[in-house]
Amino acid sequence: MKSGNRHPETAAVHGASDLEKKNGPVATPIYQTSTFEVTDNDEQERVTSTDRYYTRWGNPTISVAEQTVAALEGTDAARVFASGMGAITTTILALLKSGDHIVAQRDLYGGVTKFLSQWLPKMGIETTLVDTTEYEQHARAIRPNTKMFYVESPTNPALRVVDFQQVTALAQQCGLISMIDSTFGTPINQGPAEYGFDVVMHSGTKYLAGHADLTCGAVCGRQELIEQIHDTRTTLGNCMDPHAAWLLIRGLKTLAVRVARQNENALRVAGFLEQHAKVRRVYYPFLKSHPQHAVARRQMSGGGGMVTFEVDGTGEDARRVSEALRLFTLATSLGGVESLVSIPVLTSHAMISADLREKMGVTEQMVRLSVGIENAGDLVADLERALEAVGAGRTVAVK
């Protein structure tokens, strides 16, 4: 149960509203304005810290989006951003300083890995990468100047599942800020804040918005942390646009029903792939074959809409399969109502080195599916037909 004794389905629709009857619009208005009029300079000073001063500071439409996300995650407050990477980078820059150190899992979205390894060192902030589910490594990596644990669960693209209890217990014991990218998990399938995570982040472009029509990020957490993040967001200027915030609010209203359908479809797709002769391995948290299946079942109410598999062949075979699909659109990103397919080494993890991809277990044979809300039988049939492409076009060497 989330804050206010409302279930996620209700929080997604009503956010933090009081539900009292009032003579007002049912749909949230779009405050498509950059600034707000005041009657005098005394009022100008009073509104500076509100959402009716200047839209880089805040905006009433943006506030509704933030209150809804916070209600979904059961946290004190939230802030939204122009992108998921904007949310991540702003949060880390807000909470850390030169000389600080981060312990982060090795399995991360490629853009985050690049930020941690190439950008933060320029600012005097170091990161140690550890194996995602080896918690003794997490403990050994802690230094006197360590300030943050950064994790992602389920991970992109191998869908490894982090044990929330172990990570937050260690963070609390050592006085560290714990931050999680919960994009793949969604607020419907898991609640990291309930396990003690200080900061919960989402690339709202994906499941929260759900329709592949905007980019945004969201960060939720304790009030004092969110205030620090807000101050940095105001300075860096990567706030969300009011119209995009309105689209996010609209998308959030159907989050629960979309995710429920995607959970069902993805489990069926994963089960089909696991039995297919041309599939080497399937990654899906709610399959019994998943190495963290027990952890996933304990802390997740659904396995999510992402399925990753490796073809029993070459990287070229994986490309052929992705290009042969018709209902799964070949495109990057994920989480929308339509099913997508991508090759991680060419998209989400193209920006990191082959050596690091190998350590992460990201292979050329990997195909990542974002399962939508279409008929599951149609999706399975599309995959069955596309997998016929494995091995097609190979030449046999003549001795």
Annotated catalytic residue within 100, 107, 181, 317: 181
Are the C-beta atoms of 54 and 36 separated by less than 8 Å? Answer: yes
3 state SS for 89-145: HHHHHHHCCCCCEEEEECCCCHHHHHHHHHHHHHHCCEEEEECCCCHHHHHHHCCCC
**In the annotation, is 31 catalytic?**
no
Q: Is residue 75 a contact partner of residue 222, using CB atoms and an 8 Å limit? A: yes
CB-hemisphere CA count at 13 Å for 26? 2
Q: Which of 109, 150, 283, 284 is catalytic?
A: 109
Q: What tokens does 360 get?
A: 């992460």
- 3-class SS of residue 189: helix
Q: Which of 377, 386, 378 is nearest to 341 (CA)?
A: 386
| 109 catalytic residue (yes or no) | yes
Q: Give CA–CA dist 172/148, Å, rounded.
A: 11
Catalytic residue check, 382? no
359 is catalytic: no
Residue of 2, 6, 106, 206 marked active site: 206
Which amino acid belongs to residue 339? S
HEC profile of 274-336: HCCCCEEEEECCCCCCCCCHHHHHHHCCCCCCEEEEEECCCHHHHHHHHHHCCCCEECCCCCC
- Residues with catalytic roles: 56, 109, 181, 206
